[in-house]
């Protein structure tokens, strides 16, 4: 007989993550708005984001190829970390016109709930070669502590 550890909140977290993703996609589409004739190639997109957690910090890594630091806005409000910006299509060819564009362009908006364990006053962010790294340190009280056992 195998023992299986039951996590009653696992399914709830999965549903919450899916709802967050759907909400982010809906907000991104609405933020991009209807395409105008001046910007026929504008489209909404979502950058790939990896979130990693260890005992000391949570690290967010967002792939933003072709963007500049000035095109990205990073904010924290009401326990949510928001990354938003716009990737513009830079037309290099003056002759002819594009027949196919597979690169993503336009506005994006990603928002992530922050746990209470994050020290919001010491968050660090850096942008390096098209990748945004955000380090969210945990408060000291949230870090695991070793308890010494006393022998009687």
Say which CATH number the domain at 133 has. 2.60.40.790
Q: How many CB atoms lie within 10 A of CB 134?
A: 21
pLDDT value of residue 124: 96
Domain that holds residue 54: 10-33+42-91+99-141
Q: Which residues of the chain have pLDDT under 50?
A: 28-29, 31-43
Count: domains in the chain: 1
Residue 66 CA, chain-centre distance (Å), reads 17
pLDDT at 135: 97
Residue 150 lies inside a defined structural domain of this protein:
no
SS3 content of the chain, % helix, strand, coil (to 5): 20, 30, 45
| pLDDT score at 89 | 76
pLDDT digits (tens, 9 = 90+) for 71-90: 999 999 988 999 999 988 77
Contact 48, 62 (CB under 8 A): yes
Residues 115/51, Cβ–Cβ less than 8 Å: no
Position 1 scores a pLDDT of: 60
Closest CA to 62 of 49, 74, 76: 49
pLDDT for residue 133: 98
């Amino acid at each position: 007989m195998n023992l299986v550890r039951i996590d009653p909140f696992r399914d709830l977290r999965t549903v919450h993550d899916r709802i967050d993703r759907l909400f982010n996609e809906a907000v991104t589409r609405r933020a991009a708005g209807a395409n105008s004739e001046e910007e026929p190639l504008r489209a909404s997109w979502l950058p790939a984001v990896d979130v990693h957690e260890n005992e000391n910090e949570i690290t967010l890594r967002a792939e933003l190829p072709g963007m500049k630091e000035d095109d990205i806005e990073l904010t924290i409000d009401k326990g949510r970390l928001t990354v938003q910006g716009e990737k513009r299509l830079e037309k290099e060819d003056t002759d002819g016109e594009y027949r196919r564009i597979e690169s993503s362009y336009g506005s994006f908006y990603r928002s992530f709930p922050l746990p209470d364990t994050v020290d919001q006053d010491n968050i660090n962010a850096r942008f390096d070669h098209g990748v945004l790294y955000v380090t969210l340190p945990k408060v000291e009280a949230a870090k695991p502590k070793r308890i010494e056992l006393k022998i009687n």
